[in-house]
């Protein structure tokens, strides 16, 4: 017959899918009964009707039936009381700082910037996040482009984040944990931001979100210079900037804007990515629709490396519209291949430690 210790050991290895911490550590395991080959576990969910109940049930059942001497697993679910939830929040958050992260900081923070809109900044950010996740890194994405949030669509994330106490739990898809103002507004009623409110909202997305342990936090900045970049730099002075541009040679005005932003915010620029570099025709020749050399030019002006180029690709655009990022369905996509190469270049450039176990795609 199995022992309670053996059962608890298995449960210690099973994480709550939202909070990314063990069920035992989160005090979600209420009671364990062993009756011959039947194990009964009482589990307290953070909220009633927790959408991830089925996943927890599957994980616990699979984990326990793998034990010798266990034939049947029964799980009784209940919900935490307000007090228990409060205690959990306290445990998750510790003491909240005035600005910056609650809990452990992400190892690397990359703010993705561009001189102007429409260059593919959000599309690239979404795909880079998916690519880094596929390489086994823990990845979060913060949609800080509050005027034109597009990461929820690009990553196919719908719904509203749940709250545990006064912390929001990011929504997750393709292994990327996402927080966006788009979860709280609807397209028909755009938010008009005034300075102090914007500052506050951005700070809340950093301090009031249970990001969990992250290797990378990618931040989709609004185009241009602007208040958001300054707020981010104050809350996260360790953030680094990645610049997206198109190949037009008119890059010097963009370079000026980005350089000014870096100077104003004191954030260092790690490199440039050129997007929409060319369109590959069926016969293999390349059509440089938007001109040539803009990425190289901008990187030289900023004194940083050109980390890669991404072609114009119908599948990339379609994937973005359909919430199926091409990096998650990379077969036969040249753009996805380039995005994965750029992810490697970024990992190399900032010296991110490779995770030991890459996630199976
Ligand atoms: N390499 C690319 N090939 C084809 N379409 C692209 C590419 N990059 C971006 N797009 C498309 O261009 C449009 C603008 O991209 P978006 O990421 O929203 O730009 P930004 O965030 O810079 O404003 C979107 O419709 C997107 O799907
Ligand atoms: Mg955008």
- Report CA-CA distances (Å) from 269 to 232, 244, 262, 339, 353: 14, 11, 7, 19, 20
CATH code, domain carrying 75: 3.30.300.130
Report CA(66)–ligand 1 centroid distance (Å).
Answer: 47
Ligand nearest 121 Cα, by number? 1
Q: Which atom of ligand 1 is nearest to the CA of 125?
A: 17
**Which of these, 296, 316, 272, 351, lies nearest to 131 by C-alpha position?**
316
Q: Which residues, other chains included, contact 283 with Cβ-Cβ below 8 Å and sequence gap of 6+?
A: none
Residue nearest to atom 12 of ligand 1 (CA): 120
Surface-to-core class of residue 248, CB atoms within 10 Å of its CB (0-12 exposed, 13-18 middle, 19+ buried): middle
Q: 3-state DSSP call for residue 171?
A: strand
Residue from 113, 120, 156, 286 to probe ligand 1 pocket by mutation (most atoms less than 8 Å from CB): 120
Report CA(261)–ligand 1 centroid distance (Å).
Answer: 22
* Residue 96 forms part of a structural domain: no
Residue nearest to atom 6 of ligand 1 (CA): 317
Report CA(27)–ligand 1 centroid distance (Å).
Answer: 44
Q: 3-state DSSP call for residue 254?
A: helix
Last residue of a domain, one of 80, 98, 133: 80
Supply the pLDDT for residue 153: 95
On whether both 154 and 213 belong to a single domain, the answer is yes
Q: 3-state DSSP call for residue 241?
A: strand
On whether both 145 and 23 belong to a single domain, the answer is no
175: region left, alpha or beta (phi > 0 left; psi from -120 to 50 alpha)? left
Ligand nearest 126 Cα, by number? 1
Residue 33 reports pLDDT greater than 60? yes
**φ and ψ of 15, to 5 deg:** -95, 145
Q: What is the CA radius of gyration of the chain?
A: 23
On whether both 181 and 272 belong to a single domain, the answer is yes
Take residue 229 and report the two structure tokens written for it: 């970049």
Q: What percent of the chain shows pLDDT beyond 70?
A: 93
**Of 195-199, 217-221, 255-259, which one has max mean pLDDT?**
217-221
Q: Are 220 and 151 in contact, with CB atoms under 8 Å apart?
A: yes
* Residue 90 forms part of a structural domain: no
On whether both 154 and 288 belong to a single domain, the answer is yes
Supply the pLDDT for residue 51: 67
Q: Which helix (H) or strand (E) holds 54?
A: helix 53-65
On whether both 61 and 139 belong to a single domain, the answer is no
Give tens-digit pLDDT for 326-355.
999 999 999 999 999 999 999 999 988 877
Number of domains into which the chain is organized: 2
Q: Indicate the range of 81-85, 177-181, 284-288, 348-352 predicted with least confidence.
A: 81-85
**Which of these, 16, 79, 26, lies nearest to 48 by C-alpha position?**
79
Report the pocket of ligand 1 as residue ranges, CB < 6 Å.
114, 117-123, 150, 275-276, 310, 312-313, 316-317, 320, 335
Residue nearest to atom 2 of ligand 1 (CA): 312
For 25-32, what is the mean pLDDT?
89
On whether both 44 and 171 belong to a single domain, the answer is no
On whether both 54 and 123 belong to a single domain, the answer is no
For 310-314, what is the mean pLDDT?
97
Residue 187 reports pLDDT greater than 50? yes
Q: Are 228 and 235 in contact, with CB atoms under 8 Å apart?
A: no
Around ion ligand 2, residues with a beta carbon closer than 5 Å are 122, 145, 150
Give tens-digit pLDDT for 221-231.
988 767 888 88
DSSP state of 101: -
For the chain, the average pLDDT equals 88
For 118-129, what is the mean pLDDT?
96
* Residue 359 forms part of a structural domain: no
* Residue 28 forms part of a structural domain: yes
Q: Which residue has the tokens 């990645």?
A: 242
Q: Which helix (H) or strand (E) holds 109?
A: strand 108-114
Supply the pLDDT for residue 339: 98
* Residue 92 forms part of a structural domain: no
Residue 94 reports pLDDT greater than 80? no
Q: Which atom of ligand 1 is nearest to the CA of 114?
A: 22
On whether both 53 and 202 belong to a single domain, the answer is no
For 270-295, what is the mean pLDDT?
94
* Residue 320 forms part of a structural domain: yes
- Which structural domain, as residue segments, surrounds residue 138? 108-350
Q: Measured between alpha carbons, how far is 196 from 223 in angstroms, rounded to an integer? A: 19
On whether both 170 and 251 belong to a single domain, the answer is yes
Measured in Å, how far apart are the chain's first and last C-alpha atoms?
A: 37
For 85-106, what is the mean pLDDT?
73
Supply the pLDDT for residue 361: 44
Cβ-count burial 101-140 (b if 16+ within 10 Å, e if not): bbbebbbbbbbbbbbeeebbbbbbbbbbbbbbbbbbbbbb
Q: Which helix (H) or strand (E) holds 206?
A: helix 195-207
Ligand nearest 321 Cα, by number? 1
* Residue 338 forms part of a structural domain: yes
CATH code, domain carrying 258: 3.40.50.300
Q: Measured between alpha carbons, how far is 213 from 182 in angstroms, rounded to an integer? A: 23
Q: Which helix (H) or strand (E) holds 216?
A: strand 216-220
Q: Which atom of ligand 1 is nearest to the CA of 220?
A: 21
Q: Which atom of ligand 1 is nearest to the CA of 335?
A: 1
Residue from 315, 317, 321 to probe ligand 1 pocket by mutation (most atoms less than 8 Å from CB): 317
Give tens-digit pLDDT for 137-179.
999 999 998 878 899 999 999 888 888 877 899 999 999 999 9
On whether both 129 and 251 belong to a single domain, the answer is yes
Residue nearest to atom 26 of ligand 1 (CA): 317
On whether both 65 and 117 belong to a single domain, the answer is no
On whether both 210 and 153 belong to a single domain, the answer is yes
Report CA(171)–ligand 2 centroid distance (Å).
Answer: 19
* Residue 40 forms part of a structural domain: yes
């Amino acid at each position: 017959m199995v022992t309670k210790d053996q059962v608890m050991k298995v449960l210690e290895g099973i994480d709550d899918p939202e909070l990314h911490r063990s069920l035992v550590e989160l005090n979600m395991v209420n009671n364990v009964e062993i009756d011959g080959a039947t194990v009964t576990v009482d589990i307290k969910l953070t909220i009633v009707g927790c959408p991830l109940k089925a996943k927890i049930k599957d994980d616990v059942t699979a984990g326990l039936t793998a034990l010798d001497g266990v034939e049947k697993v029964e799980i009784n679910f209940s919900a935490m009381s307000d007090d228990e939830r409060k205690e959990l929040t306290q445990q998750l958050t510790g003491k909240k700082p005035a600005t910056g992260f609650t809990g452990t900081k992400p190892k690397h923070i990359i703010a993705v910037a561009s001189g102007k809109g429409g260059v593919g900044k959000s599309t690239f950010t979404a795909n880079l996040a998916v690519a880094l996740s596929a390489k086994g890194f823990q990845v979060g994405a913060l949609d800080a482009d509050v005027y034109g949030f597009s990461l929820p669509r690009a990553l196919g994330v719908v719904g509203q984040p749940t709250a545990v106490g006064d912390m929001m739990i990011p929504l997750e898809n393709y292994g990327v944990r996402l927080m966006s103002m788009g979860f709280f507004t609807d397209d028909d009623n755009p938010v008009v931001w005034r300075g102090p409110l914007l500052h506050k909202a951005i700070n809340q997305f950093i301090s009031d979100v249970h990001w969990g342990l992250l290797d990378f936090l990618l931040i989709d900045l609004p185009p241009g210079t602007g208040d958001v970049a300054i707020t981010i730099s104050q809350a996260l002075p360790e953030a680094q900037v990645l610049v997206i541009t198109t190949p037009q040679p008119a890059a010097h005005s963009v370079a000026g804007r980005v350089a000014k932003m870096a100077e104003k915010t004191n954030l260092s620029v790690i490199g440039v990515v050129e997007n929409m570099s060319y369109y590959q025709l069926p016969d293999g020749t390349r059509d440089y629709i938007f001109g040539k050399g803009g990425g190289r030019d901008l990187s030289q002006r900023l004194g940083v490396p050109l980390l890669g180029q991404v072609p114009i690709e119908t599948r990339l655009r379609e994937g973005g519209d359909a919430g199926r990022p091409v990096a998650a369905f990379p077969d036969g996509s040249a753009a996805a291949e380039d995005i994965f190469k750029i992810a490697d270049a970024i990992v190399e450039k900032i010296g991110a430690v490779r995770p030991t176990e890459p996630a199976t795609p």
